[in-house]
Structure 1
């Protein structure tokens, strides 16, 4: 069985996606090949502890709730994450995978809901987008754009007009502390975009505090 380097496992509310507000168990993996300028989990770039799959599953099962969110860092940077996702699905959990979009999602278990982040120019990592990932999206999956400014918004808007996506939800999220929520809402309404405006609910509740 695989071993994975885990930054933390904790219980909280899912702060983003269509599952926003639902209690969930988060499994945060250590390591990420990207350095987005707005990253709020840089503490997970290093450290953590090696854990066997059985130990991870035990800790997940000790926490209430059906939803499990596998996140990072970048969880796909560890090869063993695919086995973890399968084990969690086999255990009857509803599993979400939050990924940067820089690494291939081709081999992700089809039972997993993929939350694919398309990096905008304002992230300072847009050149890392793996565009082949778009062909591996399913109707259950969700695509997220974190927007830093008006230029990012227009970039994402034009991208959607040129590349229709099969994902269930298209999420537009303002970069925390960078883009005014009111402005983003107005732009979406003016352009009549078929997207979901989302905020990071956990930050509205607890602030920019790790482990929430």
Structure 2
């Protein structure tokens, strides 16, 4: 892989379905490849394949959609080192940029203008051992910490992590139910009952268009 290119699965324009940016028209740049294999992964089609694109071509494609917000996602985008240069170029061009990352790779070198959405893996993901806890030391209020939860065990684990590590004082915390596994209303009831300092979210794009690529 050249230092000025990335392996890309898809670039598309849609509504942001998650995080505090939910509902905003956004260009998604989905990179190919991921070192994790979460049990509930909804983007396994991005593990392999894709198209090699230069950073110039990616930035040009993004500009063609005319949107202000850009989300760099995967797969695991940080597995490809040139992604750092891409994010910096997007920030320099005036875009509001967010990064969706598994939390298994270091985020300290990400351009500080990027909002880092760090997904802490709960036991139900099968990848809880991959959490890189040192990432929490570099997060700011510009970033967000996300938990995708499959069941009550995941919820109790996440609640304990929030308390023990003081996550609500580090960055906004998001709870998301695994699609068609944990009923959203049930998770909402737990959050309300425990008065947790979190933002409950559902995946808007799946509600609108179902679970498929390019939405």
1:44-193 alignment to 2 at 5 Å? 44-165=46-167, 166-193=169-196
1:51 is paired with a residue of what secondary structure?
Answer: strand
Check conservation: 1:9, 1:26, Cα contact below 8 A: yes
2:160 is paired with a residue of what secondary structure?
Answer: helix
1:132 is paired with a residue of what secondary structure?
Answer: helix
Pairwise CA distance, 1:167: 4.0
Pairwise CA distance, 1:61: 0.4
Q: TM-score, normalised by structure 1?
A: 0.98
Q: TM-score, normalised by structure 2?
A: 0.97
- Say if 1:190 and 1:102 are closer, same or farther in 2 by CA, change over 3 A: same
Report the Cα distance in structure 1 between the residues aligned to 2:195 and 2:212, rounded to whole angstroms.
34
1:178 is paired with a residue of what secondary structure?
Answer: coil
Check conservation: 2:139, 2:171, Cα contact below 8 A: no
Check conservation: 1:8, 1:27, Cα contact below 8 A: yes
Check conservation: 1:140, 1:167, Cα contact below 8 A: no
Matched, 1:17 2:35: no
Ranges of 4+ aligned residues in structure 1 off by more than 3 Å: none
| Residues 27-86 of structure 1: per-residue CA shift (max 9 Å, x gap) | 000000000000010000000011111100000000022000000000000000000010
Check conservation: 1:100, 1:118, Cα contact below 8 A: yes
Matched, 1:200 2:203: yes
Check conservation: 2:136, 2:170, Cα contact below 8 A: no
**Pick from 18, 33, 37: which aligns with 1:31?**
33
Structure 1 segments unaligned to the other structure (5+ residues): none
What is the RMSD of the two structures over their aligned residues, measured on CA atoms? Answer: 0.8
| Residues 180-208 of structure 1: per-residue CA shift (max 9 Å, x gap) | 11111110011000100000000000001
